[in-house]
Structure 1
């Protein structure tokens, strides 16, 4: 008959688990108790229990290595207990080859079912002459190691579930719900810091329709039991040899679909997500459009542009990280507007940094767009109500004017200085002090930047490129281009064909 060691600092916990074993008639012939790590090590060495229920929090730093060596040598079935639902605690369980992780307080039914299973496995193994009761290949033996490391065992035909709450601190509540939920076939549940993994047993690949039914029923019942928004992924693979670590990687990627759909949604996926690749940066024309919309104060135009470029109704979706970069590219134009109108200080500056953090870390695209638009509207209202236009940054206003007219070969310093109501000499001095560059150099740089884009992205003749970028004369354009870039326009055009 198997034996068990219950190791917990709390006397009530130890007695409670011992009473549960006795009252439920789980056939362990010896039940040992330990309240310290030293007692655990001594009991394992002396009695070599078949099952170890261990509170992780009781093990000191200097006691880990001796305990790990003992467990590796005697190979008991280990269930670890903790009150901290953290990744660090999960990794400690992995180091001890734990079969189950119990988050306190755990239900008596879960403890009873787990300990009864360990006992039956030990008895079955003894009946078949298998030392240690090795049931490799059963989904019940899947551990955290299988999720994070490319082990030799294939994943098998096991559908994988990922459940994630908008509030991760409520994951213990979700874990209790999943543990007690009446699944037709109970999944192995592996709680992580940011989600809960469930692995279902299956003799053959499940049809997607059945996975969808399970997911929809689970999501519906969770909504009826809790107000915490849940995002659910049901994942399976067509490849029976795919390892569990690869399945977990692909399912985690599928969890990012919530970026577009939001929470309270189910995603049923078979295989890896194929994101659409996009250029995340604004083109020069898009940058000019944004500066114009901001200075015109057109809220409707800004809203329409954002909705048209960031609300995706159908798959395949763009890669979320690239969209975040594109949003920061927009925020860079907003920053220029703030500097040009003297808005980069005080409360508005704090709100700018909050908008930047929202773009980087908010899990839902719709919320990012709304928050960014609200911030921009606040800037526009501040510019109007405080009439800061007269104190606007002269150089930024001048640069904006040049960006809209640099293609005109007749553009001169005098025209730009007149636009910002400054004398040419004074404006030239301000420009040199702020950017360390002359008016002519700035104008040439703008024209060359657009010329390089046209050479690489279009098939326009060099003469046409020169005309469209304000150089007028192709020979002069080629001369300046060679001086500034070290190569000729035709050579750069040929690079596009390589």
Structure 2
């Protein structure tokens, strides 16, 4: 059985002893935690014992019951107070209501009536505790819902002042701003530990200014600040202080802060500033402190640059130029960063497209006996990526794998008759009269023998090889040089532009003009 504490405060010693001893407290779940003859002595005991119920006379020397009650609400706010008063002091009873006393009884008090009243007060104390726990347990969700409502543009205007009051947040201003902290960790215990550490760090900071910490999600904390000036100095100091927690734990932090506003109703705009900035963390990268103004710029030129580099990259991969691909990837990284437009989903889509093309090139050079390359692992990494830099690190690793396999294959392979033939074709494919017979004569074998060697060693015939050499060169020219179709045709060994166009469309799916427009 849970025992509740009751305290007796009465200046008449005989009445006080009677209240302590004549009522069967223990049989009813109570024990007397202390007794006092005046309010001053009682305050010290109440602060120490934190009783559920105090039974007190109103009219006492030194400090009367009403003065005591005001202090009790500060030092032990949950404690219920029952006043005892004589008929002549009935005016005190009316004042008892103002100090939020639980009830008052007229002297001489009936023991059973007092006991029943104390039981009722203790029951209300229990109910209050249950309700407070329910509110505390639901507070993180209430805070999260409040913050989500602030970011919903289609929703009706949130009454910031009323909502803050409901969340027991008091901000006097005159200036207001907000800060948002995101921490990347899949470990729930690490998250909770970081939240505790961050909340303590913020609470220490808030001794010098007014503010509140809110739960913004599983991996996020929001801070509302009341500032004396419209400068963001204090916000930056807090952000830098919090970023140091990154070195103390396993989390990677991203911290954004909003503009400073001179009206509490604009606090929602400051939080939206934070949220919009935070949504770009995959571009800005972790371990940073920044604001929306840092990433807002005229990005139209950069967007066009991204499209151009995208086309260039596709061509270079198809042409089998890993060194060029690596250079263009680096340029594309910068262009996407400057454009500030790509969402995380768009970045992952782009990474999947390029990685698929690179997988195809890698497979062409990879021998069956070569182990260690796992394309599914790369796809997993792409799905997990959270920043622009991670995306390009993955793609650059693939390019390095491709380049390494290509170089290794060339070094280890025998320089066969077919290899000699292909090397000769690479130097002469632009000649209109290049035939199988001419190539065979160059390496001193018969044309039927060379034709068979192509099929056995390479798995394709002479005509396919020549077509690929000419078409890749044509694609390169069309992508980089502004020449007419007949001029391109001549440069890759075709005397008939119409026949060249037919071959080009069969190989690429586009006419030369269509290809130039798209690339």
Q: TM-score, normalised by structure 2?
A: 0.50
Alignment of 1:99 with 2:99, yes or no, is no
Cα drift, residue 196 of structure 1: 0.9
Alignment of 1:251 with 2:255, yes or no, is no
Query: Could you tell me how far apart the structure 2 residues matched to 1:166 and 1:242 are?
Result: 25
Query: Could you tell me how far apart the structure 2 residues matched to 1:494 and 1:369 are?
Result: 27
Q: 1:26 matched to which residue of 2?
A: 77
Query: Could you tell me how far apart the structure 2 residues matched to 1:443 and 1:161 are?
Result: 58
Go from structure 1 to structure 2 and tell me whether the alpha carbon gap of 1:216 and 1:386 turns closer, same or farther (over 3 Å shift).
same
**Structure 2 unmatched runs, 5+:** 1-48, 53-71, 82-122, 161-174
- Map Cα deviations across residues 309-332 of structure 1 (whole Å, 9 max, x no partner): 646898555747566566556545
Go from structure 1 to structure 2 and tell me whether the alpha carbon gap of 1:249 and 1:230 turns closer, same or farther (over 3 Å shift).
closer
**Which of 29, 32, 53 is residue 133 of structure 2 equivalent to?**
53
- Map Cα deviations across residues 188-239 of structure 1 (whole Å, 9 max, x no partner): 422423x31414245899545554333223324x257546432212233899
Query: Could you tell me how far apart the structure 1 residues matched to 2:421 and 2:228 are?
Result: 68
Cα drift, residue 464 of structure 1: 3.0
**Which of 180, 198, 209 is residue 178 of structure 1 equivalent to?**
198
The structure with more radius of gyration: 2
Cα drift, residue 373 of structure 1: 5.3
Please say if residues 233 and 255 of structure 1, whose CA atoms lie closer than 8 Å, have aligned partners that are also in contact.
Answer: no
Please say if residues 407 and 447 of structure 1, whose CA atoms lie closer than 8 Å, have aligned partners that are also in contact.
Answer: no
Query: Could you tell me how far apart the structure 2 residues matched to 1:363 and 1:438 are?
Result: 43
Q: 1:190 matched to which residue of 2?
A: 215
Q: 2:146 matched to which residue of 1?
A: 142
Query: Could you tell me how far apart the structure 1 residues matched to 2:420 and 2:231 are?
Result: 61
Cα drift, residue 340 of structure 1: 3.1
Go from structure 1 to structure 2 and tell me whether the alpha carbon gap of 1:79 and 1:143 turns closer, same or farther (over 3 Å shift).
farther
**Which of 423, 438, 441 is residue 450 of structure 2 equivalent to?**
423
Cα drift, residue 477 of structure 1: 4.0
Cα drift, residue 306 of structure 1: 5.9
Q: 1:286 matched to which residue of 2?
A: 316
Please say if residues 190 and 197 of structure 1, whose CA atoms lie closer than 8 Å, have aligned partners that are also in contact.
Answer: yes
Query: Could you tell me how far apart the structure 2 residues matched to 1:397 and 1:152 are?
Result: 75
Q: 1:342 matched to which residue of 2?
A: 366
Go from structure 1 to structure 2 and tell me whether the alpha carbon gap of 1:474 and 1:163 turns closer, same or farther (over 3 Å shift).
same
1:213 alignment partner, SS class: helix
Please say if residues 234 and 267 of structure 1, whose CA atoms lie closer than 8 Å, have aligned partners that are also in contact.
Answer: yes
- Map Cα deviations across residues 377-414 of structure 1 (whole Å, 9 max, x no partner): 6677678889984399x999999998998666555567
- Map Cα deviations across residues 61-119 of structure 1 (whole Å, 9 max, x no partner): xxxxxxxxxxxxxxxxx4426xxxxxxxxxxx89xxx5358xxxxxxxxxxxxxxxxxx
Go from structure 1 to structure 2 and tell me whether the alpha carbon gap of 1:414 and 1:268 turns closer, same or farther (over 3 Å shift).
farther
1:270 alignment partner, SS class: helix
Please say if residues 342 and 388 of structure 1, whose CA atoms lie closer than 8 Å, have aligned partners that are also in contact.
Answer: no
Query: Could you tell me how far apart the structure 1 residues matched to 2:159 and 2:428 are?
Result: 61
Go from structure 1 to structure 2 and tell me whether the alpha carbon gap of 1:291 and 1:330 turns closer, same or farther (over 3 Å shift).
farther
Please say if residues 501 and 512 of structure 2, whose CA atoms lie closer than 8 Å, have aligned partners that are also in contact.
Answer: yes
Q: 2:413 matched to which residue of 1?
A: 390
Please say if residues 232 and 260 of structure 2, whose CA atoms lie closer than 8 Å, have aligned partners that are also in contact.
Answer: no
| Aligned pairs for 1:90-169 within 5 A | 98-100=141-143, 142-147=146-151, 150-153=154-157, 159-169=177-187
Q: 2:30 matched to which residue of 1?
A: none
Go from structure 1 to structure 2 and tell me whether the alpha carbon gap of 1:381 and 1:311 turns closer, same or farther (over 3 Å shift).
same
2:413 alignment partner, SS class: helix
Go from structure 1 to structure 2 and tell me whether the alpha carbon gap of 1:28 and 1:210 turns closer, same or farther (over 3 Å shift).
same
1:198 alignment partner, SS class: strand
Q: TM-score, normalised by structure 1?
A: 0.52
Please say if residues 163 and 196 of structure 1, whose CA atoms lie closer than 8 Å, have aligned partners that are also in contact.
Answer: yes
**Structure 1 unmatched runs, 5+:** 1-18, 31-42, 55-77, 82-92, 102-140, 294-300
**Which of 288, 291, 295 is residue 268 of structure 1 equivalent to?**
291
Cα RMSD over matched residues? 5.8
Query: Could you tell me how far apart the structure 1 residues matched to 2:410 and 2:516 are?
Result: 51
Please say if residues 254 and 273 of structure 1, whose CA atoms lie closer than 8 Å, have aligned partners that are also in contact.
Answer: no
Alignment of 1:217 with 2:247, yes or no, is no
Please say if residues 158 and 201 of structure 1, whose CA atoms lie closer than 8 Å, have aligned partners that are also in contact.
Answer: yes
Equivalences, count: 367
1:179 alignment partner, SS class: helix
Cα drift, residue 495 of structure 1: 7.2
Q: 1:361 matched to which residue of 2?
A: 384
Query: Could you tell me how far apart the structure 2 residues matched to 1:346 and 1:155 are?
Result: 65
Query: Could you tell me how far apart the structure 2 residues matched to 1:252 and 1:337 are?
Result: 37
Query: Could you tell me how far apart the structure 1 residues matched to 2:481 and 2:403 are?
Result: 36
- Map Cα deviations across residues 123-166 of structure 1 (whole Å, 9 max, x no partner): xxxxxxxxxxxxxxxxxx93444346742126978644332224
